[in-house]
């Protein structure tokens, strides 16, 4: 059986949102599964010294046009959430707590968090919003809120970020197929060709 695809993303990444809406269908069409792995761009940027695209001269205004254009290209709902970007520690911790119980529920939660932020414009840095989304996905809200206060989920996310960096992840989305890294939602056609024909 072919190796699963690893999909790394930060919940505040618009391009991560675009990839999240496409990656499972793309993988399934080629007999693959996907391991979803949220991480924190802040942790990666601290390691690499990189900065947000929005802070780069000339690039900031461009990326907002590109966000809207890419969403329209893929037929996805889009809004610029306020505030943007936000810290995504709470959402990522909630994901891993859910993943340890039910992978399908965790994946649904991840998609719903993305849609809550980039389609509805709600602030996903807020614990109450994250808990609402998790509960709608079928999670025990009270148990989740209690877990978010503990060290176990904090340590889990810290470990996941360290593992992502160790694998060379430096942006969102970052997809690894058969050991080959692909960065960015614009790499979807290359990923599709790789899955269909192998290395090129």
Band (1; pLDDT cuts 50, 70, 90)? low
- Total domains present in the chain: 1
Please write the tens of the pLDDT for every residue from 134-152: 999 999 999 999 999 999 9
Please write the tens of the pLDDT for every residue from 17-52: 999 999 999 999 999 999 999 999 999 999 888 777
Nearby residues of 7 by Cβ (< 8 Å), 6 or more positions away: 19, 20, 23, 34, 35, 36, 37, 173, 174, 175
Domain containing 38 equals: 5-197
pLDDT > 90 fraction of the chain, expressed in percent and rounded: 91
With CA atoms as reference, report the closest residue to 117 among 38, 61, 56: 38
- Is-contact 9 39, C-beta < 8 A? yes
CATH number for the domain that contains residue 46: 3.40.30.10
Burial of 83 (0-12, 13-18, 19+ CB in 10 A): exposed
Buried-state track 66-80, b at ≥16 Cβ within 10 A, e below 16: bbeebbeeeebebee
Tell whether pTM > 0.85.
Answer: yes
pLDDT at 102 > cutoff 70: yes
């Amino acid at each position: 059986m072919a190796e699963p695809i690893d999909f790394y993303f930060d919940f505040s990444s618009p391009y991560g949102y675009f990839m999240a809406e496409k990656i499972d269908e793309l993988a399934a069409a080629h007999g693959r599964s996907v391991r979803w792995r949220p991480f924190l761009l802040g942790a990666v940027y601290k390691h690499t010294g990189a900065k947000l695209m929005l802070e780069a001269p000339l690039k900031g205004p461009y990326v907002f046009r590109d966000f809207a254009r890419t969403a329209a290209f893929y037929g996805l709902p889009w809004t610029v959430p306020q505030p943007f970007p936000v810290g995504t520690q709470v959402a990522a911790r909630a994901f891993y707590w859910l993943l340890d119980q039910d992978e399908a529920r965790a994946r649904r939660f991840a998609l719903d968090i993305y849609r809550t932020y980039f389609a509805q414009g709600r602030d996903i840095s807020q614990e109450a919003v994250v808990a609402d989304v998790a509960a709608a996905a079928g999670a025990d809200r009270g148990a989740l809120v209690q877990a978010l206060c503990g060290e176990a989920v904090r340590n889990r996310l810290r470990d996941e970020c360290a593992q992502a960096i160790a694998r060379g992840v430096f942006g969102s989305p970052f997809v690894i197929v058969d050991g080959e890294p692909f960065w960015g939602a614009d790499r979807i056609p290359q990923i599709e060709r790789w899955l269909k024909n192998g290395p090129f």
